[in-house]
A and B are shown apart, each in its own frame.
Chain A
Amino acid sequence: MIKTADVVIIGGGISGVAIAYNLLKKGVKNVVVLEKDYLASGATGRCGAGIRQQWGTEMNCRLTKYSCEFFENAKEELQYDGDIEFKQGGYLILSSTQKEHEQFKKNVALQNSLGINSKLLTLDEAKEIVPFLNTEGLISATFHQKDGHLNPFHATQAYADAAKRLGAQIYTFTEVTDILVEGGKIRGVRTNKGDISTNIVVNAAGGYSQLIGNMVGVALPVFSERHQILVTETVAPILDPMVMSFSLNLYCQQVPHGGFVMGRGDEGEPRDLRITSGWHFLEEMTKTITRVLPPLKDVRFLRQWAGLYNMTQDRQPIYGPIDEVEGFYLAIGYSGHGFMLAPATGLIIAESILGEAASLPATELHLNRFKSGNLILEPSVV
Protein backbone atom coordinates (compact mmCIF):
# COMPACT_ATOMS: atom_id res chain seq x y z
CA MET A 1 0.00 0.00 0.00
CA ILE A 2 1.01 3.59 -0.66
CA LYS A 3 2.94 5.28 2.21
CA THR A 4 2.10 8.96 1.77
CA ALA A 5 -0.77 10.89 0.25
CA ASP A 6 -1.83 14.49 -0.28
CA VAL A 7 -5.39 13.67 0.71
CA VAL A 8 -6.85 10.54 2.31
CA ILE A 9 -10.62 10.10 1.98
CA ILE A 10 -12.26 7.69 4.41
CA GLY A 11 -15.26 6.00 2.82
CA GLY A 12 -15.89 4.51 -0.61
CA GLY A 13 -19.52 5.56 -0.96
CA ILE A 14 -20.80 8.07 -3.48
CA SER A 15 -19.45 10.98 -1.38
CA GLY A 16 -15.91 9.62 -1.12
CA VAL A 17 -15.52 8.84 -4.80
CA ALA A 18 -17.13 12.14 -5.86
CA ILE A 19 -14.70 14.08 -3.65
CA ALA A 20 -11.75 12.11 -5.02
CA TYR A 21 -12.81 12.75 -8.60
CA ASN A 22 -13.18 16.49 -8.03
CA LEU A 23 -9.79 16.80 -6.31
CA LEU A 24 -8.03 14.98 -9.15
CA LYS A 25 -9.85 17.01 -11.76
CA LYS A 26 -8.51 20.11 -10.05
CA GLY A 27 -5.00 18.76 -10.29
CA VAL A 28 -4.35 17.26 -6.85
CA LYS A 29 -2.08 14.31 -7.57
CA ASN A 30 -1.89 11.91 -4.73
CA VAL A 31 -5.46 11.12 -3.64
CA VAL A 32 -6.31 7.95 -1.72
CA VAL A 33 -9.77 6.51 -0.96
CA LEU A 34 -10.00 3.93 1.82
CA GLU A 35 -13.04 1.67 2.06
CA LYS A 36 -13.38 -0.96 4.75
CA ASP A 37 -15.60 -3.17 2.60
CA TYR A 38 -16.30 -2.78 -1.12
CA LEU A 39 -17.41 0.35 -2.99
CA ALA A 40 -21.01 1.40 -2.25
CA SER A 41 -21.28 -1.18 0.54
CA GLY A 42 -22.66 1.47 2.93
CA ALA A 43 -25.77 3.63 2.57
CA THR A 44 -25.00 4.36 -1.07
CA GLY A 45 -25.59 0.81 -2.27
CA ARG A 46 -28.65 0.48 -0.07
CA CYS A 47 -30.44 3.69 -0.97
CA GLY A 48 -33.30 4.72 -3.23
CA ALA A 49 -30.86 6.86 -5.24
CA GLY A 50 -33.63 9.34 -5.93
CA ILE A 51 -32.75 12.87 -6.94
CA ARG A 52 -35.12 15.80 -6.72
CA GLN A 53 -34.83 19.55 -7.11
CA GLN A 54 -38.12 20.17 -5.34
CA TRP A 55 -36.86 21.58 -2.06
CA GLY A 56 -38.04 24.32 0.27
CA THR A 57 -34.82 26.30 0.73
CA GLU A 58 -32.86 28.13 -1.93
CA MET A 59 -29.68 26.35 -0.85
CA ASN A 60 -31.06 22.86 -1.37
CA CYS A 61 -32.71 23.78 -4.66
CA ARG A 62 -29.41 25.10 -5.97
CA LEU A 63 -27.29 22.21 -4.71
CA THR A 64 -29.60 19.56 -6.12
CA LYS A 65 -30.04 21.42 -9.41
CA TYR A 66 -26.29 21.33 -9.79
CA SER A 67 -26.22 17.61 -8.97
CA CYS A 68 -29.05 16.77 -11.32
CA GLU A 69 -27.41 18.59 -14.21
CA PHE A 70 -24.17 16.79 -13.44
CA PHE A 71 -25.86 13.40 -13.60
CA GLU A 72 -27.52 14.34 -16.90
CA ASN A 73 -24.05 14.68 -18.39
CA ALA A 74 -22.27 12.12 -16.23
CA LYS A 75 -21.81 9.54 -18.94
CA GLU A 76 -19.71 11.97 -21.02
CA GLU A 77 -18.03 13.72 -18.12
CA LEU A 78 -17.03 10.50 -16.36
CA GLN A 79 -16.67 8.47 -19.57
CA TYR A 80 -18.29 5.46 -17.98
CA ASP A 81 -18.53 2.29 -20.03
CA GLY A 82 -21.61 1.09 -18.12
CA ASP A 83 -24.99 2.72 -17.62
CA ILE A 84 -25.82 4.82 -14.55
CA GLU A 85 -29.53 4.29 -15.41
CA PHE A 86 -30.63 7.86 -14.77
CA LYS A 87 -34.39 7.81 -15.30
CA GLN A 88 -35.85 11.33 -15.33
CA GLY A 89 -39.47 10.35 -14.90
CA GLY A 90 -39.96 13.16 -12.42
CA TYR A 91 -40.92 13.23 -8.75
CA LEU A 92 -44.61 13.38 -7.99
CA ILE A 93 -44.88 14.66 -4.43
CA LEU A 94 -48.29 14.22 -2.79
CA SER A 95 -49.80 16.45 -0.12
CA SER A 96 -52.39 15.13 2.30
CA THR A 97 -52.71 17.99 4.77
CA GLN A 98 -53.67 21.62 4.25
CA LYS A 99 -50.43 22.77 5.84
CA GLU A 100 -48.42 20.67 3.43
CA HIS A 101 -50.42 22.01 0.51
CA GLU A 102 -49.67 25.60 1.58
CA GLN A 103 -45.99 24.74 1.90
CA PHE A 104 -46.00 23.22 -1.60
CA LYS A 105 -47.30 26.50 -3.05
CA LYS A 106 -44.37 28.34 -1.48
CA ASN A 107 -41.91 25.66 -2.57
CA VAL A 108 -43.03 25.79 -6.20
CA ALA A 109 -42.78 29.60 -6.27
CA LEU A 110 -39.24 29.39 -4.86
CA GLN A 111 -38.23 26.60 -7.22
CA ASN A 112 -39.61 28.44 -10.26
CA SER A 113 -37.68 31.58 -9.27
CA LEU A 114 -34.47 29.48 -9.37
CA GLY A 115 -35.12 28.02 -12.82
CA ILE A 116 -36.64 24.75 -11.60
CA ASN A 117 -39.80 24.19 -13.61
CA SER A 118 -41.89 22.38 -11.04
CA LYS A 119 -45.68 22.68 -11.02
CA LEU A 120 -48.41 22.55 -8.45
CA LEU A 121 -50.97 20.00 -9.66
CA THR A 122 -54.59 19.28 -8.91
CA LEU A 123 -55.36 15.65 -8.19
CA ASP A 124 -56.83 15.24 -11.68
CA GLU A 125 -53.59 16.51 -13.16
CA ALA A 126 -51.65 14.13 -10.93
CA LYS A 127 -53.75 11.28 -12.30
CA GLU A 128 -52.69 12.21 -15.81
CA ILE A 129 -49.16 11.29 -14.73
CA VAL A 130 -50.10 8.23 -12.64
CA PRO A 131 -53.57 7.11 -13.81
CA PHE A 132 -53.98 4.50 -11.07
CA LEU A 133 -53.14 6.90 -8.22
CA ASN A 134 -55.75 6.59 -5.48
CA THR A 135 -56.39 10.24 -4.61
CA GLU A 136 -58.55 9.55 -1.57
CA GLY A 137 -57.31 11.64 1.33
CA LEU A 138 -54.92 13.65 -0.87
CA ILE A 139 -55.08 17.38 -1.50
CA SER A 140 -52.62 18.23 -4.25
CA ALA A 141 -49.27 17.30 -5.72
CA THR A 142 -46.19 18.90 -7.14
CA PHE A 143 -44.26 17.57 -10.09
CA HIS A 144 -40.91 18.23 -11.71
CA GLN A 145 -40.03 16.23 -14.78
CA LYS A 146 -36.24 16.46 -14.43
CA ASP A 147 -36.18 14.73 -11.06
CA GLY A 148 -35.65 10.99 -11.05
CA HIS A 149 -33.43 8.19 -9.85
CA LEU A 150 -30.23 6.36 -10.73
CA ASN A 151 -28.50 3.06 -10.16
CA PRO A 152 -26.33 3.78 -7.12
CA PHE A 153 -23.76 1.02 -7.75
CA HIS A 154 -23.08 2.17 -11.27
CA ALA A 155 -23.05 5.85 -10.32
CA THR A 156 -20.40 5.08 -7.67
CA GLN A 157 -18.44 2.89 -10.05
CA ALA A 158 -18.56 5.61 -12.71
CA TYR A 159 -17.00 8.16 -10.35
CA ALA A 160 -14.49 5.60 -9.06
CA ASP A 161 -13.38 4.56 -12.55
CA ALA A 162 -12.98 8.20 -13.61
CA ALA A 163 -11.01 9.01 -10.45
CA LYS A 164 -8.74 6.01 -11.01
CA ARG A 165 -8.11 7.05 -14.60
CA LEU A 166 -6.91 10.41 -13.25
CA GLY A 167 -4.63 8.62 -10.80
CA ALA A 168 -6.64 8.00 -7.62
CA GLN A 169 -5.64 5.05 -5.46
CA ILE A 170 -8.76 3.30 -4.22
CA TYR A 171 -8.18 0.60 -1.61
CA THR A 172 -11.19 -1.56 -0.81
CA PHE A 173 -11.31 -3.98 2.14
CA THR A 174 -9.04 -1.50 3.93
CA GLU A 175 -10.29 -0.18 7.24
CA VAL A 176 -9.10 2.97 8.97
CA THR A 177 -8.53 2.05 12.60
CA ASP A 178 -7.02 5.32 13.84
CA ILE A 179 -6.05 8.81 12.78
CA LEU A 180 -2.73 10.28 13.81
CA VAL A 181 -2.93 13.84 15.13
CA GLU A 182 0.03 15.86 16.38
CA GLY A 183 -0.20 19.36 17.84
CA GLY A 184 -3.75 19.74 16.55
CA LYS A 185 -2.77 18.75 13.00
CA ILE A 186 -3.52 15.66 10.96
CA ARG A 187 -0.40 13.57 10.40
CA GLY A 188 -1.70 10.32 8.98
CA VAL A 189 -4.07 7.40 9.15
CA ARG A 190 -3.63 3.89 10.47
CA THR A 191 -5.33 1.05 8.60
CA ASN A 192 -5.50 -2.71 8.93
CA LYS A 193 -3.07 -2.79 6.01
CA GLY A 194 -0.53 -0.22 7.24
CA ASP A 195 -0.08 3.50 7.85
CA ILE A 196 -0.34 6.35 5.38
CA SER A 197 1.08 9.75 6.23
CA THR A 198 -0.95 12.73 5.12
CA ASN A 199 -1.88 16.24 6.22
CA ILE A 200 -5.46 16.05 5.02
CA VAL A 201 -8.16 13.55 5.91
CA VAL A 202 -11.74 13.69 4.68
CA ASN A 203 -14.37 11.98 6.79
CA ALA A 204 -16.87 10.58 4.26
CA ALA A 205 -17.69 7.52 6.32
CA GLY A 206 -21.49 7.81 6.15
CA GLY A 207 -23.19 6.05 9.05
CA TYR A 208 -19.83 5.53 10.75
CA SER A 209 -18.75 9.19 10.63
CA GLN A 210 -19.05 9.64 14.40
CA LEU A 211 -16.54 6.81 14.93
CA ILE A 212 -14.10 8.58 12.63
CA GLY A 213 -14.68 11.78 14.65
CA ASN A 214 -13.75 9.90 17.80
CA MET A 215 -10.43 8.99 16.20
CA VAL A 216 -9.41 12.68 16.20
CA GLY A 217 -10.99 13.24 19.60
CA VAL A 218 -13.98 15.24 18.41
CA ALA A 219 -17.56 14.32 19.32
CA LEU A 220 -19.47 15.08 16.13
CA PRO A 221 -23.14 16.07 16.53
CA VAL A 222 -24.43 13.18 14.43
CA PHE A 223 -26.01 9.80 14.99
CA SER A 224 -27.06 6.97 12.70
CA GLU A 225 -30.51 5.56 12.24
CA ARG A 226 -31.66 2.45 10.42
CA HIS A 227 -33.88 2.95 7.36
CA GLN A 228 -35.54 0.05 5.60
CA ILE A 229 -36.40 -0.46 1.97
CA LEU A 230 -37.71 -3.23 -0.28
CA VAL A 231 -37.82 -4.26 -3.93
CA THR A 232 -40.42 -6.23 -5.86
CA GLU A 233 -40.21 -8.59 -8.77
CA THR A 234 -39.73 -7.13 -12.26
CA VAL A 235 -42.92 -6.18 -14.06
CA ALA A 236 -43.76 -4.23 -17.24
CA PRO A 237 -43.23 -0.46 -16.86
CA ILE A 238 -46.32 1.27 -15.43
CA LEU A 239 -44.88 3.97 -13.16
CA ASP A 240 -42.79 6.81 -14.59
CA PRO A 241 -42.17 9.16 -11.67
CA MET A 242 -40.89 8.63 -8.17
CA VAL A 243 -44.01 8.99 -6.04
CA MET A 244 -43.34 10.41 -2.60
CA SER A 245 -45.14 12.00 0.29
CA PHE A 246 -43.78 13.50 3.48
CA SER A 247 -47.08 13.27 5.34
CA LEU A 248 -47.90 9.74 4.16
CA ASN A 249 -44.31 8.72 4.84
CA LEU A 250 -43.50 6.90 1.61
CA TYR A 251 -41.49 6.89 -1.58
CA CYS A 252 -41.84 4.46 -4.43
CA GLN A 253 -40.18 4.21 -7.83
CA GLN A 254 -40.10 1.68 -10.64
CA VAL A 255 -36.48 1.26 -11.68
CA PRO A 256 -35.67 0.84 -15.40
CA HIS A 257 -35.08 -2.86 -14.79
CA GLY A 258 -38.76 -3.20 -13.81
CA GLY A 259 -38.76 -3.72 -10.04
CA PHE A 260 -40.45 -1.32 -7.63
CA VAL A 261 -38.18 0.08 -4.94
CA MET A 262 -39.96 1.63 -1.97
CA GLY A 263 -39.32 2.79 1.56
CA ARG A 264 -40.56 4.76 4.54
CA GLY A 265 -39.13 5.95 7.82
CA ASP A 266 -40.28 4.29 11.01
CA GLU A 267 -40.43 5.89 14.42
CA GLY A 268 -38.09 4.37 16.96
CA GLU A 269 -35.67 2.76 14.55
CA PRO A 270 -32.46 1.52 16.20
CA ARG A 271 -29.54 3.97 16.39
CA ASP A 272 -26.85 1.42 17.06
CA LEU A 273 -25.54 0.77 13.52
CA ARG A 274 -27.84 -2.25 13.16
CA ILE A 275 -29.04 -2.90 9.60
CA THR A 276 -31.20 -5.97 10.04
CA SER A 277 -34.67 -6.17 8.48
CA GLY A 278 -37.89 -5.87 10.46
CA TRP A 279 -41.45 -7.10 10.03
CA HIS A 280 -43.12 -3.86 11.19
CA PHE A 281 -41.65 -1.91 8.27
CA LEU A 282 -42.96 -4.45 5.80
CA GLU A 283 -46.49 -4.31 7.17
CA GLU A 284 -46.68 -0.53 7.30
CA MET A 285 -45.08 -0.16 3.89
CA THR A 286 -47.41 -2.59 2.14
CA LYS A 287 -50.50 -1.12 3.82
CA THR A 288 -49.71 2.38 2.57
CA ILE A 289 -48.44 1.54 -0.87
CA THR A 290 -51.32 -0.77 -1.82
CA ARG A 291 -53.73 1.99 -0.80
CA VAL A 292 -51.99 4.79 -2.71
CA LEU A 293 -50.94 2.73 -5.75
CA PRO A 294 -53.50 -0.14 -5.83
CA PRO A 295 -52.07 -2.15 -8.78
CA LEU A 296 -49.06 -2.90 -6.59
CA LYS A 297 -51.22 -5.34 -4.62
CA ASP A 298 -50.53 -7.97 -7.23
CA VAL A 299 -46.80 -7.40 -7.46
CA ARG A 300 -44.61 -9.78 -5.49
CA PHE A 301 -42.20 -8.52 -2.89
CA LEU A 302 -38.75 -9.95 -3.49
CA ARG A 303 -36.25 -8.61 -1.02
CA GLN A 304 -35.96 -6.30 1.96
CA TRP A 305 -32.86 -4.66 3.40
CA ALA A 306 -31.75 -1.61 5.36
CA GLY A 307 -29.08 1.06 5.52
CA LEU A 308 -28.02 3.90 7.79
CA TYR A 309 -29.05 7.53 7.61
CA ASN A 310 -26.36 9.64 9.24
CA MET A 311 -28.45 12.28 11.00
CA THR A 312 -27.91 15.82 12.24
CA GLN A 313 -30.25 17.96 14.27
CA ASP A 314 -31.51 19.88 11.21
CA ARG A 315 -31.29 16.91 8.83
CA GLN A 316 -28.76 18.75 6.69
CA PRO A 317 -25.17 17.68 6.01
CA ILE A 318 -22.02 18.99 7.61
CA TYR A 319 -19.40 20.16 5.13
CA GLY A 320 -15.88 21.49 5.44
CA PRO A 321 -12.98 21.86 7.90
CA ILE A 322 -13.33 21.94 11.68
CA ASP A 323 -11.74 24.36 14.14
CA GLU A 324 -10.40 21.66 16.49
CA VAL A 325 -8.10 19.75 14.13
CA GLU A 326 -6.26 21.23 11.17
CA GLY A 327 -6.56 19.20 7.99
CA PHE A 328 -9.71 17.31 9.00
CA TYR A 329 -12.70 17.79 6.68
CA LEU A 330 -16.28 16.59 7.01
CA ALA A 331 -18.71 15.38 4.36
CA ILE A 332 -21.28 13.71 6.60
CA GLY A 333 -24.75 13.84 8.14
CA TYR A 334 -26.92 13.71 5.02
CA SER A 335 -30.03 12.24 6.56
CA GLY A 336 -31.91 10.78 3.56
CA HIS A 337 -30.47 12.83 0.73
CA GLY A 338 -26.72 12.32 0.48
CA PHE A 339 -26.92 10.48 -2.77
CA MET A 340 -28.53 13.34 -4.65
CA LEU A 341 -26.07 15.82 -3.16
CA ALA A 342 -22.97 13.85 -4.18
CA PRO A 343 -21.91 15.86 -7.25
CA ALA A 344 -22.29 19.03 -5.16
CA THR A 345 -20.47 17.40 -2.24
CA GLY A 346 -17.53 16.53 -4.46
CA LEU A 347 -17.15 20.09 -5.69
CA ILE A 348 -17.77 21.75 -2.32
CA ILE A 349 -15.18 19.67 -0.47
CA ALA A 350 -12.57 19.90 -3.24
CA GLU A 351 -12.89 23.70 -3.31
CA SER A 352 -12.81 23.85 0.46
CA ILE A 353 -9.60 21.80 0.67
CA LEU A 354 -7.93 23.86 -2.05
CA GLY A 355 -9.07 27.15 -0.54
CA GLU A 356 -10.88 28.12 -3.73
CA ALA A 357 -13.88 30.43 -3.91
CA ALA A 358 -17.08 28.46 -3.39
CA SER A 359 -19.15 27.90 -6.54
CA LEU A 360 -22.11 26.57 -4.58
CA PRO A 361 -23.95 28.06 -1.58
CA ALA A 362 -22.87 25.71 1.19
CA THR A 363 -21.07 27.83 3.78
CA GLU A 364 -24.13 27.57 6.06
CA LEU A 365 -23.50 23.83 6.29
CA HIS A 366 -20.36 24.24 8.40
CA LEU A 367 -20.09 22.38 11.73
CA ASN A 368 -20.12 25.68 13.59
CA ARG A 369 -23.82 26.15 12.92
CA PHE A 370 -24.51 23.80 15.81
CA LYS A 371 -22.45 25.98 18.12
CA SER A 372 -23.99 29.26 16.96
CA GLY A 373 -27.50 27.83 16.75
CA ASN A 374 -27.95 28.83 13.10
CA LEU A 375 -29.71 25.65 12.09
CA ILE A 376 -31.12 25.28 8.61
CA LEU A 377 -34.88 25.35 8.38
CA GLU A 378 -35.67 23.07 5.46
CA PRO A 379 -39.41 22.34 5.47
CA SER A 380 -39.32 19.57 2.88
CA VAL A 381 -36.81 17.04 4.14
CA VAL A 382 -37.21 13.38 5.07
Chain B
Amino acid sequence: MEDNTIVCRCSDLTLQDVRDLINKGYTSFDELKRISRIGMGPCQGRTCMQIVLRELSIATGKPISELSPGIFRPPVKPIKLGEIARHALEGGEVNHD
Protein backbone atom coordinates (compact mmCIF):
# COMPACT_ATOMS: atom_id res chain seq x y z
CA MET B 1 0.00 0.00 0.00
CA GLU B 2 1.19 3.56 -0.75
CA ASP B 3 1.95 5.59 2.30
CA ASN B 4 1.35 9.19 1.39
CA THR B 5 2.27 10.62 4.77
CA ILE B 6 4.45 13.68 4.16
CA VAL B 7 7.85 13.07 5.72
CA CYS B 8 9.70 16.13 4.44
CA ARG B 9 7.56 19.24 4.35
CA CYS B 10 10.32 21.42 2.90
CA SER B 11 11.01 19.27 -0.12
CA ASP B 12 7.63 17.57 -0.31
CA LEU B 13 8.48 13.88 0.04
CA THR B 14 6.18 11.15 1.27
CA LEU B 15 7.04 8.07 3.25
CA GLN B 16 6.49 6.11 0.06
CA ASP B 17 9.04 8.27 -1.78
CA VAL B 18 11.57 7.53 0.95
CA ARG B 19 10.86 3.80 0.87
CA ASP B 20 11.16 3.73 -2.93
CA LEU B 21 14.57 5.39 -2.75
CA ILE B 22 15.77 2.98 -0.07
CA ASN B 23 14.60 0.11 -2.28
CA LYS B 24 16.75 1.53 -5.07
CA GLY B 25 19.76 0.81 -2.88
CA TYR B 26 20.58 4.05 -1.04
CA THR B 27 21.68 3.15 2.46
CA SER B 28 22.58 6.44 4.15
CA PHE B 29 20.86 9.70 5.02
CA ASP B 30 23.48 11.65 3.05
CA GLU B 31 22.74 9.75 -0.14
CA LEU B 32 18.98 10.18 0.23
CA LYS B 33 19.46 13.86 0.91
CA ARG B 34 21.55 14.42 -2.17
CA ILE B 35 19.38 12.51 -4.58
CA SER B 36 15.98 13.74 -3.31
CA ARG B 37 16.69 17.01 -1.43
CA ILE B 38 15.17 15.52 1.71
CA GLY B 39 16.51 17.49 4.66
CA MET B 40 17.84 20.26 2.40
CA GLY B 41 15.00 22.70 3.08
CA PRO B 42 14.76 25.52 5.62
CA CYS B 43 14.32 23.13 8.56
CA GLN B 44 17.60 21.32 7.65
CA GLY B 45 16.14 17.91 8.38
CA ARG B 46 14.85 18.58 11.85
CA THR B 47 11.43 17.15 10.95
CA CYS B 48 12.29 14.32 8.59
CA MET B 49 15.60 13.02 9.87
CA GLN B 50 14.30 10.73 12.61
CA ILE B 51 11.69 9.21 10.31
CA VAL B 52 14.23 8.63 7.56
CA LEU B 53 16.73 7.09 9.97
CA ARG B 54 14.01 4.77 11.28
CA GLU B 55 13.21 3.64 7.72
CA LEU B 56 16.91 3.13 6.97
CA SER B 57 17.28 1.16 10.18
CA ILE B 58 14.43 -1.15 9.21
CA ALA B 59 15.82 -1.62 5.69
CA THR B 60 19.45 -2.18 6.65
CA GLY B 61 18.93 -3.94 9.95
CA LYS B 62 21.36 -1.54 11.61
CA PRO B 63 20.35 0.22 14.83
CA ILE B 64 19.69 3.97 14.46
CA SER B 65 22.68 4.71 16.68
CA GLU B 66 24.95 3.26 13.97
CA LEU B 67 23.46 5.34 11.15
CA SER B 68 24.99 8.71 10.34
CA PRO B 69 22.55 11.61 10.35
CA GLY B 70 24.85 13.46 7.96
CA ILE B 71 26.54 16.75 8.67
CA PHE B 72 24.72 19.72 10.16
CA ARG B 73 25.73 22.64 8.02
CA PRO B 74 25.72 26.29 8.94
CA PRO B 75 23.62 28.37 9.50
CA VAL B 76 21.27 27.03 12.16
CA LYS B 77 18.53 29.39 11.05
CA PRO B 78 18.11 30.89 7.56
CA ILE B 79 19.43 34.50 7.38
CA LYS B 80 18.93 37.07 4.62
CA LEU B 81 22.04 37.56 2.47
CA GLY B 82 21.59 41.31 2.83
CA GLU B 83 21.80 40.98 6.61
CA ILE B 84 25.09 39.13 6.48
CA ALA B 85 26.49 41.62 3.98
CA ARG B 86 25.36 44.55 6.15
CA HIS B 87 26.96 42.93 9.17
CA ALA B 88 30.17 42.36 7.22
CA LEU B 89 30.27 45.96 6.03
CA GLU B 90 29.10 47.76 9.16
CA GLY B 91 29.62 45.32 11.99
CA GLY B 92 27.07 44.87 14.77
CA GLU B 93 24.53 42.14 15.44
CA VAL B 94 23.10 39.93 12.72
CA ASN B 95 19.34 40.29 12.71
CA HIS B 96 17.77 36.88 12.21
CA ASP B 97 14.80 38.17 10.32
By a beta-carbon cutoff of 8 Å, the part of chain A in contact with chain B is 38-41, 45, 153-154, 157, 231-234, 257, 277, 282-284, 286-287, 289-291, 296-305
Contacts and interface: CB of A to CB of B under 8 A. Distances in A.
A78 to B, nearest CB: 16
Contacts, number: 78
Interface string B21-43: 00000101011001101001110
Interface in B64-97: 71, 73-75, 78-82, 84-85, 87-89
Nearest to A234: B41
Nearest to A288: B85
Interface of B: 26, 28, 30-31, 34-35, 37, 40-42, 44, 71, 73-75, 78-82, 84-85, 87-89
A301 B31 contact: no
B13 to A, nearest CB: 13
A300 B40 contact: no
A285 to B, nearest CB: 8
B51 to A, nearest CB: 20
A303 B74 contact: yes
B75 A233 contact: no
Contacts of A40: 34
Contact of B81 (A154, A234, A297): A297
A191 B34 CA distance: 26
Contact of A300 (B30, B44, B79, B89): B79
A299 B81 contact: yes
Nearest to A40: B34
B81 A277 contact: no
30 contacts: A38-B30, A40-B34, A45-B34, A153-B34, A233-B42, A233-B78, A234-B41, A277-B73, A282-B84, A284-B88, A287-B85, A287-B88, A287-B89, A296-B81, A296-B82, A297-B81, A297-B82, A298-B80, A299-B80, A299-B81, A301-B75, A301-B79, A301-B84, A302-B42, A302-B78, A303-B40, A303-B74, A303-B75, A304-B74, A305-B71
